[in-house]
């Protein structure tokens, strides 16, 4: 990694801007599995999930985020099984709706 010198105020402004965008667009108020799916060529996972009618859809305590459909959030009592089942459900429904098979960005360990 190579770093270069820059204007401290300009860098701080960029950091603040990125943080504001993140708070505005991502569900940071709840624990989440992060961005669950890779971006399909020429499309967006969150858009495909929304178009499949899954915004806010829940299995157990795991929910497709209302704020950004590419995120799965824990509404308070989600189990790993809830998250895994929701991921598989999302993949199936998006494929049925669009013909696009979403690829997971998160890795499932153990089991």
Q: What is the pLDDT along the chain (111 residues), one digit of tens a residue?
A: 888 888 888 878 877 776 666 665 655 666 587 789 999 999 999 999 999 999 999 999 999 998 888 999 999 899 999 999 999 999 999 999 999 999 999 888 875
Fold entry, domain 30-98: 3.90.78
Q: How many angstroms separate the CA atoms of 3 and 1, rounded?
A: 7
Question: What are the backbone angles phi and psi of residue 55, rounded to the nearest 5°?
Answer: -55, 125
Q: Residue written as tokens 């429904």?
A: 93
109 CB contacts (<8 Å, ≥6 apart)? none
| Domain extents in the chain | 30-98
pTM: 0.77
Q: How many angstroms separate the CA atoms of 16 and 62, rounded?
A: 30
């Amino acid at each position: 990694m190579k770093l270069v010198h820059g204007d401290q105020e300009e860098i701080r402004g960029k950091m603040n801007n990125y943080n504001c965008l993140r708070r505005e667009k991502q569900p940071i108020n709840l624990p989440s599995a992060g961005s669950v799916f890779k971006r399909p060529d020429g499309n967006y996972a969150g858009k495909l999930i929304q178009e499949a009618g899954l915004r806010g859809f829940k299995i157990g305590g795991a929910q497709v985020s209302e704020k950004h459909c590419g995120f799965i959030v824990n509404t308070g009592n989600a189990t790993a099984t809830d998250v895994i089942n929701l991921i598989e459900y999302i993949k199936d429904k998006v494929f049925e709706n669009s013909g696009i098979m979403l690829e997971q960005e998160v890795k499932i360990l153990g089991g």
